[in-house]
Amino acid sequence: MKMMMGIEVHCQLSSKSKLFCSCSTDTKDKNPNENTCPICLGFPGSKPKVNKAVIDYGIMVAKALNCKVAEKMYFSRKSYFYPDMSKNFQITQYEIPLAVNGFLEIDGEKIRIKRIHIEEDPAKLVHKGGDITTASYVLIDYNRAGMPLLEIVTEPDFTTPKQVRLFLEKLSSILEHLGVYEAEREASLRVDANISLEGGERIEIKNITGFADVEKALNYEIVRQRGLLRMNMKVERETRHFDADRRVTKSLRKKEYEEDYGYIFDPDLAEVEISKEWLNRIAAKMPELPDQRVQRFVKQYGIDEYQAKVIVYTDKNLADFFEKCCERYKNAEKAAKWIITYLLKSLNWHSISIKQSKVNVDSFIEFLELMDSNTITERYAKELIKEYVDTGISPKELIKGKVKSLSEKDLKDIILKVLEENQKAVQEYLQGKEKSIEFLIGQVLVKTKKQADPKIIRKILLSCIEK
Amino acid sequence: MIEIKTVKEFVENADSIDFDDFISSVIEKCEKIQSKYQPFITINKNHAKPKKGLIHALPVSVKDCICTKDLQSTAGSKILEGYIPPFDATCVTKIKQQGGVIIGKTTQDEFGFGTFNVNSKYAIPKNPFDVERSCGGSSGGAGCITAAADFPHIAIAESTGGSITAPAAFTGTYGLTPTYGRVSRYGLIDYANSMDKIGVIAKSTYDIALMLSIISGYDPLDSTSADLAEQDFTKFIGKDIKGMKIAVPKEYFGEGVDKKIADLIWEKIKQLESLGASYEEISLPMTKYAIPAYYIIAVSEASTNLAKFCGLRYGLHKQLSGNFDEYFASVRSQGFGEETKRRIILGTYARMAGFRDAYYLKALKIRTLIIQEFKKTFKSFDIIAAPSMPVLPLKFSEIENLKPIENYMMDILTIAPNMAGIPMISVPAGLINGLPAGLHLMADHFNEAALIKASSSLEGLE
Amino acid sequence: MKDYWKIDEKLVEHIAAVARLHLTEEEKKKYASQLEDILQVFKQIDDVNTENVNPSFHPIEIKNRLRDDEEKKTEWDPLANTKHKEEGYFKGPKIV
Ligand SMILES: [Mg+2]
Ligand SMILES: [Zn+2]
């Protein structure tokens, strides 16, 4: 069945002040409506003034997404009534946005970027006495109102919901590398996803936060719409909302009529001319981008491209973490393997990022070195890393008392003892019964209380038998 | 109590007055005037000692659409009844810094929507020349108090399409509409942001020049404020107008213009000639397209500006009931007056998908042509002279019978210069049957100096 | 082609809904006829050739009015002008 999927991503940019006023964008631990002024609250007589840094940031993102930046751009008023809108119009861009016609490559496939524009964020609503469909009234906190948003609109080029998630992860990493965005902020990246299946109308799922949720919402929609179409039922054009707890999409009210936004140029704002000099100034300060970093990781650390991509695209902080480890810990491949396979898994299990976790470079290196010195086995390390991510206690502390340090000589003594006690199995092995060696390894493991690495046991065992 | 009548004398002798006595007698006079002519929505009775400055202790009235901190500002709308702005408009800050005293907020058509100041559920100002007649609008209160006050006073007014010129002409006062961007709009409750201009109504050209010097200048808070240094406009008072070239556009003397007014204006033009200026008749063929283009732009912008009024953060409140569509509609239907609703509907229509290109975008292009026509004229001329209004102050009973479109056509002489953002001044031209008429002088962008020279040269000639 | 210059009660009703205004039947009728009058006069802008004419967003050309990214706290009470408040929040009507 043919399927069309596209997204609109709203990312909050990390300028110090809001898009059109000097209120702080740092809303953490703030009282409701503390970060407001007559401008972001749209009080009569107040006038907006554009924050230059936001345009700088927008140009950086446009360049990173291979877009064409406008020579002149304008702000428009998009009129619609809603309690989260302080003016009942949103200042956004319409005819001539900041940038158009770019792309982002996901595993060799180009996802086209239609446009990037700058707009203001609406306020945050708390639905009192229920959810959006059942509340009896709303509480409004305008701290978020007027925060700078970058809206990135793709063409409907996605082929799977997973690809959408990968796109969002990579996009987020790009924004972080550019230093224009804080992934940790609440609702710093919100997605409207469009999906239509052949034979059905376009469905829009509004305001999904969290990359995994976007994937889940789209997967749910595919199943739902397919079901409807199979039963010859209509998929009508509508806007839906993703219920993250129940993992389903729900229909928002069907409006009696399409909202008519009645765009006009915002007469309080002047056109913005983006000169060559301005573009050059930005180009000169563009930092290393994720794709470049992946290539460097392959070259510099000798890890494979797949590993480099996971580390870099997941999260800029993870890539920074990896590089810091490699400064002092020379086995980059081993570091990469343990970061991707085990550390990341534990972090994901807790749904936290490396920055939010208690893991740090020193203790992680310590952890790797415990394996290198055979103090702990790989098998035990897999257990230990979970505890380490949970508690943040240094691995050395964690194993105190649990593992008596097992030197190679101790291990050899144990092995010799096992050989002595199991002469029969040794004979069988020498007669060609391969499996007997596994039995012997098992016996050693029992004696070492599983604190030795089976690979090393095998090596010593074999050398002893051959003697 | 107050012997000094002119602003000039007053500011020169400001140190010798007892402020408390002075201001209480001014407020008393205002209340008397209010009961007779109704120029105010709010009379301000709380006065701290004013600062020393260019207009120390001078009474200043402010049109109600201009925000005054801690003093009700409604823009003439019931939807803003009780609204107490948390900040002063930039021009008000400047006035206070120079010692001006805000005596009250003058009445107006709701949000500036009108030519006769009858579109308001607050006070409708009555013309001091004849209380059966309108003061003009939308800054009717500003014209009214200026004409009625027998104490030194200057009015801060505002014009989008002619709202300073109309009341100045109808009340026999001077009214300056500065170049768009000359005076900061920060703190002005918007009508149509790309055309709104704060200006002055006063009793003499000197008063106009003095106040313009105070309120003009670049304001970083207003993105459309012109990046020009402050300057003293009083230095152009009484300057020679020898060699000044005046254009007289035939479209401004044609159909719909009262013949008696046209004759009076010609007399004034001849007076300017006798003072050394020369004139030539010209044509401004874009004039007739100005009204539709102006109204389309104005209502498009206005209908978005007015969306914020929905009974939530300020202004008219009702018990929360129904969903937001129902609640907002119920507050808005109650709070807005008839003309405001008409303009919201027209403006919402002009912006709608499908109609937008034919109306809104087309009107923006016509504005370009109108600006070009003026620019071309000002290559050969210093000022344009015309009547301010096509009619003498109308009776309220006459206004009642005007259809909306006939009402809009009354702006025929003021719309084009207003949408082009050029500066203009209405100068009292004398009385016809005991009613005032105005001479309208227009100049190129930022050439207020020419207007002040020409206007002041006519003073004292009668 | 659509006739841009025609307006009827049904259209007025739709516009009023978009603008969140309740109109009585009488008002709809009145506004429709008044707007019809107005549009008949406004129609003449169709006569103006605006090919290759740029729209003017303001009477004077203004560009690049930008502020530096500096934060400043406003000391004020944002809730001072409203009765609809609860625990520092504005209180508003429900969505559905
Ligand atoms: Mg958007
Ligand atoms: Zn703010």
Phi and psi, residue A220, nearest 5° = -60, -45
Once rounded to an integer, what is the mean pLDDT over residues B241-265?
96
Query: Rounded to whole angstroms, how far apart are CA atoms B236 and A336?
Result: 78
Question: What pLDDT, on a 0 to 100 scale, did the predictor assign at position A88?
Answer: 98
Ligand 2 centroid vs C67 CA: distance in angstroms? Answer: 13
Ligand 2 centroid vs A42 CA: distance in angstroms? Answer: 9
Let me know: does B307 contact A87? Beta carbons within 8 Å: yes
C-alpha separations of B241 from B199, B270, C96 in Å: 24, 13, 67
In a domain, C56, yes or no: no
Question: Is pLDDT at C88 greater than 50 in this prediction?
Answer: yes
Question: What pLDDT, on a 0 to 100 scale, did the predictor assign at position A361?
Answer: 95
Report strand pairing: B126-127 vs B197-202.
unpaired
Query: Rounded to whole angstroms, how far apart are CA atoms B400 and B389?
Result: 18
Question: What pLDDT, on a 0 to 100 scale, did the predictor assign at position A245?
Answer: 86
Please report which confidence band the pLDDT of residue B461 belongs to, taking 50, 70 and 90 as the band edges. Answer: low
Q: What tokens does A255 get?
A: 């409006």
Query: Rounded to whole angstroms, how far apart are CA atoms B164 and B262?
Result: 20
**CA B314 from centroid of its chain's CA atoms:** 26
A418 vs B98, higher pLDDT: B98
Question: In chain C, whose CA is at the least distance from the CA of A275?
Answer: C64
Query: Rounded to whole angstroms, how far apart are CA atoms A16 and A180?
Result: 10
In a domain, A66, yes or no: yes
Chain B residues with CB under 8 Å of A81 CB are 307, 310, 324-325, 328
Rounded (10°) CA dihedral A158, A163, A165, A167? -70
Q: Are residues A174 and A315 in the same domain?
A: no
Quote the number of domains for chain A: 3
Poorest-confidence range of A423-427, B6-10, B249-253?
A423-427
Q: Are residues A355 and A422 in the same domain?
A: no
Question: Is pLDDT at C75 greater than 50 in this prediction?
Answer: yes
In a domain, B214, yes or no: yes
Binary contact (A79, B307; C-beta < 8 A) = yes
Report strand pairing: A76-79 vs A264-265.
antiparallel
Binary contact (C31, B364; C-beta < 8 A) = no
Let me know: does A367 contact A388? Beta carbons within 8 Å: yes
CB-nearest to C22 from B303, B333, B421 is: B333
Interface check B149 vs C, CB under 8 A: no
Chain A residues with CB under 8 Å of B224 CB are 267-268, 270
Once rounded to an integer, what is the mean pLDDT over residues B346-370?
94
Burial group, residue B76, by CB count within 10 angstroms (0-12, 13-18, 19+): buried
In a domain, C43, yes or no: yes
% of chain A exceeding 70 in pLDDT: 97
In a domain, A170, yes or no: yes
Once rounded to an integer, what is the mean pLDDT over residues B70-85?
98
Q: What tokens does A9 get?
A: 């991503």
Poorest-confidence range of A33-37, A146-150, B66-70, B404-408?
B404-408
Interface check B352 vs C, CB under 8 A: yes
Question: What pLDDT, on a 0 to 100 scale, did the predictor assign at position A210?
Answer: 86
Query: Rounded to whole angstroms, how far apart are CA atoms A231 and A240?
Result: 21
E strand segments, A231-364: 238-243, 248-251, 264-265, 272-273
**Among all chains, which residue has been given the structure tokens 């740090």?**
A360
In a domain, A215, yes or no: no
Query: Rounded to whole angstroms, how far apart are CA atoms A308 and B250?
Result: 77
Question: What pLDDT, on a 0 to 100 scale, did the predictor assign at position A254?
Answer: 59
Question: What pLDDT, on a 0 to 100 scale, did the predictor assign at position C2?
Answer: 57
CB atoms within 10 A of CB B228: 13
Once rounded to an integer, what is the mean pLDDT over residues A122-148?
93
Question: Is pLDDT at A94 greater than 90 in this prediction?
Answer: yes
Q: Are residues A41 and A152 in the same domain?
A: yes
Once rounded to an integer, what is the mean pLDDT over residues A216-234?
93
Pick the closest to residue A255 from A80, A465, A45 (CA basis): A80
CB atoms within 10 A of CB B205: 26
Binary contact (C38, B327; C-beta < 8 A) = no
Question: What pLDDT, on a 0 to 100 scale, did the predictor assign at position C1?
Answer: 43
Phi and psi, residue A13, nearest 5° = -85, 150
Which residues, 6+ apart, have CB-to-CB distance to A29 below 8 Å? Answer: none
Question: What pLDDT, on a 0 to 100 scale, did the predictor assign at position B462?
Answer: 54
Once rounded to an integer, what is the mean pLDDT over residues B259-280?
97
Quote the number of domains for chain B: 1
Q: Are residues A322 and A261 in the same domain?
A: no
Question: What pLDDT, on a 0 to 100 scale, did the predictor assign at position A255?
Answer: 56
Give the sheet arrangement for strand A124-128, strand by strand. A124-128, A137-141, C89-93, C85-86
Interface subset of A 307-336, CB within 8 angstroms of C = none
Question: What pLDDT, on a 0 to 100 scale, did the predictor assign at position C35?
Answer: 94
Ligand 1 centroid vs A9 CA: distance in angstroms? Answer: 8
Pick the closest to residue A75 from A51, A91, A53 (CA basis): A91
C-alpha separations of A354 from A101, A186, A317, A344 in Å: 34, 16, 7, 8
Which residues, 6+ apart, have CB-to-CB distance to B25 below 8 Å? Answer: B1, B2, B151
Which residues, 6+ apart, have CB-to-CB distance to B428 below 8 Å? Answer: B168, B172, B173, B174, B436, B438, B439
Query: Rounded to whole angstroms, how far apart are CA atoms C79 and B317?
Result: 13
Q: Could you read off the pLDDT of B327-344 as tens digits, one per residue?
A: 999 999 999 999 999 999
Question: Is pLDDT at B253 greater than 70 in this prediction?
Answer: yes
Interface check B256 vs C, CB under 8 A: no
Ligand nearest to the CA of A118: 1
Let me know: does A353 contact A427? Beta carbons within 8 Å: no
Domain hosting A312: range is 290-398
Q: Are residues A18 and A101 in the same domain?
A: yes
Once rounded to an integer, what is the mean pLDDT over residues B16-45?
96
Domain hosting C28: range is 23-48
Q: What tokens does B278 get?
A: 């020369």
Q: What tokens does A381 get?
A: 């390390």
Poorest-confidence range of A108-122, A205-219, C48-62?
A205-219
Q: Are residues A52 and A112 in the same domain?
A: yes
Question: In chain A, whose CA is at the least distance from the CA of C60?
Answer: A270
In a domain, B298, yes or no: no
Cis check for the bond before B213: say yes or no (omega within 30 of 0): no
Pick the closest to residue A46 from A83, A80, A21, A16 (CA basis): A21
Q: What tokens does B451 get?
A: 């207007």
3-class DSSP state of B430:
strand
Q: How far is C6 from chain B (nearest CA, A)?
A: 11
Poorest-confidence range of A107-116, A211-220, A373-382, B76-85?
A373-382
CB-nearest to B223 from A89, A261, A269 is: A269
**A264, A281, A298 - which closes a domain:** A281
Please report which confidence band the pLDDT of residue A406 belongs to, taking 50, 70 and 90 as the band edges. Answer: low
Q: Could you read off the pLDDT of B142-171 as tens digits, one per residue?
A: 999 999 999 999 999 999 999 999 999 999
Question: What pLDDT, on a 0 to 100 scale, did the predictor assign at position C4?
Answer: 72
Question: Is pLDDT at B22 greater than 50 in this prediction?
Answer: yes
Pick the closest to residue A205 from A242, A158, A168, A233 (CA basis): A242
Question: What pLDDT, on a 0 to 100 scale, did the predictor assign at position A132?
Answer: 82
Q: Could you read off the pLDDT of B82-136 as tens digits, one per residue?
A: 999 999 999 999 999 999 999 999 999 999 999 999 999 999 999 999 999 999 9
Q: Could you read off the pLDDT of B60-70 as tens digits, one per residue?
A: 999 999 999 99
Poorest-confidence range of A76-90, A171-185, B312-326?
A171-185
Query: Rounded to whole angstroms, how far apart are CA atoms B192 and B363?
Result: 14
Q: Are residues A37 and A157 in the same domain?
A: yes
Ligand nearest to the CA of A94: 1
Residues of B involved in catalysis: 63, 138, 163
Selection from A172-186, B30-44, B348-362 with the highest mean pLDDT: B30-44
Please report which confidence band the pLDDT of residue A253 belongs to, taking 50, 70 and 90 as the band edges. Answer: low
In a domain, A206, yes or no: no
Domain hosting B45: range is 7-237+421-439
Question: Is pLDDT at A435 greater than 90 in this prediction?
Answer: no
Q: Could you read off the pLDDT of A48-59 as tens digits, one per residue?
A: 999 999 999 999
Question: Is pLDDT at B1 greater than 60 in this prediction?
Answer: no
Q: Indicate whether this model's pTM tops 0.80.
A: yes
Let me know: does B393 contact B132? Beta carbons within 8 Å: no
Binary contact (C18, B324; C-beta < 8 A) = no
Quote the number of domains for chain C: 1
Question: Is pLDDT at A394 greater than 90 in this prediction?
Answer: no
Question: Is pLDDT at B261 greater than 50 in this prediction?
Answer: yes
Query: Rounded to whole angstroms, how far apart are CA atoms A13 and A50?
Result: 14
Pick the closest to residue A81 from C95, C28, C90 (CA basis): C95
C-alpha separations of B371 from A62, B135, B418 in Å: 36, 29, 10
In a domain, C79, yes or no: no
In a domain, B372, yes or no: no
Question: Is pLDDT at A377 greater than 70 in this prediction?
Answer: yes
Question: What pLDDT, on a 0 to 100 scale, did the predictor assign at position A177?
Answer: 96
Binary contact (C93, B327; C-beta < 8 A) = yes
Please report which confidence band the pLDDT of residue A410 belongs to, taking 50, 70 and 90 as the band edges. Answer: confident
Q: How far is B325 from chain A (nearest CA, A)?
A: 8
In a domain, A245, yes or no: no
Question: What pLDDT, on a 0 to 100 scale, did the predictor assign at position B401?
Answer: 95
In a domain, C65, yes or no: no
Question: What pLDDT, on a 0 to 100 scale, did the predictor assign at position A405?
Answer: 57
Binary contact (A257, C17; C-beta < 8 A) = yes
Q: Are residues A296 and A275 in the same domain?
A: no
Neighbours of chain C (3+ CB pairs under 8 A): A, B
Please report which confidence band the pLDDT of residue B9 belongs to, taking 50, 70 and 90 as the band edges. Answer: very high
CB-nearest to C45 from B289, B313, B323 is: B289
Let me know: does A371 contact A378? Beta carbons within 8 Å: yes
Please report which confidence band the pLDDT of residue B203 belongs to, taking 50, 70 and 90 as the band edges. Answer: very high
Binary contact (C18, B366; C-beta < 8 A) = no
Please give the mean pLDDT across all residues of chain B.
96
Please give the mean pLDDT across all residues of chain A.
91
Q: Could you read off the pLDDT of A144-157 as tens digits, one per residue?
A: 999 999 999 999 99
3-class DSSP state of B347:
helix
In a domain, A53, yes or no: yes
E strand segments, C7-78: 66-67
| CATH number, domain containing residue B99 | 3.90.1300.10
Q: What tokens does B239 get?
A: 């300057």
C-alpha separations of A423 from A436, A447, B245 in Å: 11, 17, 124
